[in-house]
């Protein structure tokens, strides 16, 4: 992010701009550093439901008018809720900057929160929950979070349950906004052919009339989760077993996070990775197998996800455990250079997209006073040494968390494997 500028406004909100003079479009958005982790247990799904409700209309536009306005200029308007943030963003042509910011500000700062709208939208969200429940490789990751962090807010589903969603009220939404949508937790981000002065001028009319707020924009009153090497197994009538095995890593801001990303690449990213070559190519135990990472403000995971036939589950688990135990001795300097090349290429290629840029800017700023510049990120990755990676790989010998959705016949082997570790 070498063309990056940051500014903190008097009320505590932060602006971050990635200037792309030759880009054909602008991506803009508003990020709030509050997500499902900030909900009370009885109100699970509230942050996500609030995101839905924003699209029902603001105090100036109906939901239909919001949709027609973005369609009229050929733009794109979207949002998402994660465990630690909520985002509303748009991609538009440069001449439509004012409209794009107007719409994302309507969504983030001026939702009308009407009780009749909520009665309809609650049913829509329940359909979404049911659809996710019907998709094993989607719901598996929710189960995995709960397996790793039982009883902790990070372990709860972002969507909530049908019961918790149906129990929500407009007053719940208003209280959540009043508590968490403070200026010091707001980030306005943009990427494209834009100068900071124009960006700030376009935002000024949309800033909420709130007093200046102190702090770094990141909630500090969260209890840190403790990773649990527990398990969750669910039987379903299906052909393939979906299996997630995971270990604790580090928080988003920890310098070792880059080493964990490189380790995940070496272990299971791409056709030359150890997982792909061993599990799929040499043994034929799975069509889909890969490793990846997930980071939060105070926790993280490295995990392996595979889909395999029920009858091959014991062989897959044995092969996986064998590979994990041998991994520190298998990793080579060639593996590390390949992983660094993958990271560098993926990061640079993503910069061709103003949408990817704006999401990266906001994501980095959500957990730090200043996003890391591209050159600094690449330098930190390049500085990682093989002995660091091997030390992290040795840590995977500890008992992992296990989550699986599988045919009933596969459950005993999954349980026996985990018990035996």
Inside any domain, residue 352:
yes
- Closest CA relative to residue 338, chosen from 289, 400, 276, 399: 276
Please report the pLDDT score of residue 351 as a whole number: 85
Q: What are the CA-CA distances from residue 370 to residues 6, 216, 274, 365, 387 (Å)?
A: 8, 10, 36, 6, 30
DSSP alpha helix (H) spans, 93-234? 97-109, 115-133, 136-148, 162-166, 170-180, 196-203
Please report the pLDDT score of residue 218 as a whole number: 46
For the stretch 192-235, pLDDT in tens is 999 999 999 999 888 765 655 544 444 444 789 999 999 999 99
Please report the pLDDT score of residue 287 as a whole number: 94
Q: Is there a single domain that holds both residue 173 and residue 242?
A: no
Q: Is there a single domain that holds both residue 110 and residue 168?
A: yes
Q: Is there a single domain that holds both residue 85 and residue 161?
A: yes
Inside any domain, residue 289:
yes
Please report the pLDDT score of residue 221 as a whole number: 47
Inside any domain, residue 111:
yes
Instruction: Give buried/exposed letters for 121-130 (b at 16+ CB in 10 A, else e).
Output: bbeebbeebe
Show the low-confidence residues of the chain (pLDDT under 50): 1, 214-221
Cα–Cα distance, 416 to 282 (Å, whole number):
25
Q: How many structural domains are present in the chain?
A: 2
Inside any domain, residue 264:
yes
Inside any domain, residue 220:
no
Please report the pLDDT score of residue 365 as a whole number: 84
For the stretch 173-203, pLDDT in tens is 999 999 999 998 999 999 999 999 999 999 9
Q: Is there a single domain that holds both residue 76 and residue 191?
A: yes
Q: Which residue has the tokens 């918790």?
A: 164
Q: Is there a single domain that holds both residue 167 and residue 77?
A: yes
Q: Is there a single domain that holds both residue 311 and residue 182?
A: no
Please report the pLDDT score of residue 215 as a whole number: 46
Looking at 206, 223, 241, the residue that finishes a domain is: 206
Q: Is there a single domain that holds both residue 131 and residue 45?
A: yes
Q: Is there a single domain that holds both residue 280 and residue 146?
A: no
Q: What is the DSSP letter of 312?
A: G
Inside any domain, residue 319:
yes
Q: Is there a single domain that holds both residue 14 and residue 115?
A: yes
Q: Which of 51, 84, 121, 146 is catalytic?
A: 51
Tokens coding 166 = 């149906």
Its domain, for residue 156, covers 4-206
Please report the pLDDT score of residue 216 as a whole number: 45
Cα–Cα distance, 217 to 32 (Å, whole number):
9
Inside any domain, residue 214:
no
CATH number at residue 129: 3.30.830.10
Q: Is there a single domain that holds both residue 186 and residue 309?
A: no
Q: Is there a single domain that holds both residue 356 and residue 398?
A: yes
Number of Cβ atoms within 10 Å of the Cβ of 238: 14
Active site residue 281: no
For the stretch 12-34, pLDDT in tens is 899 999 999 999 999 999 999 99
Inside any domain, residue 226:
no
Q: What are the CA-CA distances from residue 345 to residues 171, 342, 364 (Å)?
A: 47, 5, 19
Q: Is there a single domain that holds both residue 193 and residue 304?
A: no
């Amino acid at each position: 992010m070498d063309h990056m500028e940051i500014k903190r406004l008097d009320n505590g909100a932060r602006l971050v701009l990635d200037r792309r003079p030759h880009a054909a479009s602008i991506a803009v958005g508003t990020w709030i550093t509050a997500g499902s982790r900030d909900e009370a247990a009885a109100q699970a799904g509230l942050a996500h439901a609030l995101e839905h409700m924003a699209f029902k209309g603001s105090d100036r536009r109906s939901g239909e008018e919001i949709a027609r306005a973005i369609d009229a200029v050929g733009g794109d308007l979207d949002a998402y809720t994660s465990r630690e943030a909520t985002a509303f963003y748009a991609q538009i042509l440069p001449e439509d900057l004012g409209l794009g910011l107007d719409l994302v500000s309507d969504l983030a700062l001026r939702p009308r929160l009407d009780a009749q709208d909520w009665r309809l939208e609650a049913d829509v969200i329940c359909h979404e929950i049911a659809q996710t429940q019907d998709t094993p490789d989607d719901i598996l990751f929710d189960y995995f979070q709960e397996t790793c962090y039982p009883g902790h807010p990070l372990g709860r589903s972002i969507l909530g349950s049908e019961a918790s969603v149906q129990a929500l009220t407009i007053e719940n939404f208003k209280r959540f906004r009043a508590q968490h949508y403070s200026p010091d937790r707001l980030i306005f981000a943009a990427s494209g052919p834009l100068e900071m002065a124009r960006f700030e001028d376009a935002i000024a009319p949309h800033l909420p009339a709130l007093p200046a707020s102190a702090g770094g924009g990141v909630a500090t009153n969260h209890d840190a989760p403790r990773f649990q090497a527990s398990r969750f197994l669910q039987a379903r009538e299906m052909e393939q077993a979906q299996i997630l095995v995971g270990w604790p890593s580090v928080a988003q801001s920890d310098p070792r996070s880059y080493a964990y990303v490189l380790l995940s690449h070496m272990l299971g990213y791409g056709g030359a990775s150890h997982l792909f070559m061993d599990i799929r190519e040499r043994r034929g135990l799975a069509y889909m197998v890969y490793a990846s990472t997930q980071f939060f403000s105070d926790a993280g995971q490295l995990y392996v996800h595979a889909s395999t036939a029920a009858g091959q589950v014991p062989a897959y688990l044995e092969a996986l455990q064998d590979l994990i135990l041998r991994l520190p001795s298998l990793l080579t300097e060639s593996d590390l250079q390949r992983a660094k090349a993958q990271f560098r290429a993926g990061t640079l290629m993503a910069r061709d997209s103003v949408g990817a840029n704006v999401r990266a800017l906001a994501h980095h700023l959500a957990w730090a006073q200043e996003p890391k510049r591209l050159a600094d990120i690449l330098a930190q990755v390049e500085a990682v040494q093989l002995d660091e990676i091997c030390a992290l790989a040795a840590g995977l010998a500890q008992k992992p968390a296990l989550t699986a959705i599988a045919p009933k016949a596969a459950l005993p082997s999954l349980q026996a494997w985990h018990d035996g570790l």
